[in-house]
Structure 1
Amino acid sequence: MAGTKGGRPRSDRAHLAILEATRDLVAERGYEGVTIEAIAAAAGVGRQTVYRWWSSKAAVVTEAVTTGVLAPEAAAPADTGDVLHDVRTWWSEYQQAAHDPELAAMLRGLAAAAAESATDAERLYEHITGPLERALVARLHAAVRAGQLRPDAEIAAAAEALIATLLYRLLTTAEREAGAGLVDLLLSGMLVPPSADAAERVASSNET
């Protein structure tokens, strides 16, 4: 396992206690306020027990998130047949999730850990941002196949922009939400324009 050291077989109970203590401490104090000594004391183990399994505080925080103790599931947007509506709803749900104080604190802690280690940065992408990005990209590709988005649409760039904005707002603790207007801005130029017949029907209905 990346970020761990060899040694005696770990106790499942102690292992879980350390991860849960890490979660609680980072949520309470923030990443900078947590030490290995504090983790060990909260978990009821010796400091050397922590160091036997993890090489640093960053490694403990990374595992606490990426083993599923803390990580949110990366759900793809629903497919109702209206890609703009579906991505707006998905965007709003993830923004609401980011307001959870414990989750926000832990993800900020993971980002801080990733800044200290290329290995932990890779695990951040592999377990958090990567699945989130792939879920969104899959929904946008489905919209291309359904004829809702243009085949030449810059799907990867749009997905990256949306996820980068989510992370930016999480890491900067911004209170103001970036509303559905951002989704509209990114996707409006990717939408397949309505056919001439469809446009005529809409115009006719508006006249009546």
Structure 2
Amino acid sequence: MCPLSRATRSHCPIRLLTVCCLCLILGTVNSPIKAENSPTTPGTPIRVGSVTGGHIHPALCRAANGDLLAVYNENGGGGKELLLARSTDGGLNWSASQPIPTIKECSIYPGSLTTLKSGEIVLHWSCYRIEGARRWRVPQFCTSKDHGVTWSPVTEIPLDDCTNYTCLRHPILELDADHWVCPFYDRTVIYDRSKHRITPFGDGRNHGMVPLVRTQQ
């Protein structure tokens, strides 16, 4: 077998993330999942985990130690837990999915994963709430400082006017250690982690539930 070039090796994890994100499909898997193809780049999709259906919304990130993490909702659109699977070989093999234990009493709309510059990982999701005819979602997050092995207690984003569209599906944008841009569907805001408060973002407009990035310039 010809050795892979450096450029090819660097793109393999990205390709695997894309393939694996598309392969949270129906079925039952109770043990780690192995790829049955080439040990470098699979020719067929790799199943990361098993789902029932609906808005499972898989989120993916690369931890500071190189592990790939996948988080998803087994029962989309109101599941009771978020499941985490891990790959230590660039996405070829995945661990059996396990629930994140700190999330409780929440009908879940997932969600996103973000690896911060410090290596800390942020997991976001929203909880469905219903009171009479009113429906809204409450955004929450937890963090991990050990590459997704353990997770902090849940923190609720301090918003007093949540709507049924207060949710996000893309990674947060880290401005600095204490300020994150949160691209919710119904608003684009900055969360101040040190003061636990929300401030407007940029021009104050709602940019929608879209991915935001910061260039080197």
Q: TM-score, normalised by structure 2?
A: 0.23
Greater Rg by CA: 1
Normalised by the length of structure 1, the TM-score is 0.24
More strand by share: 2
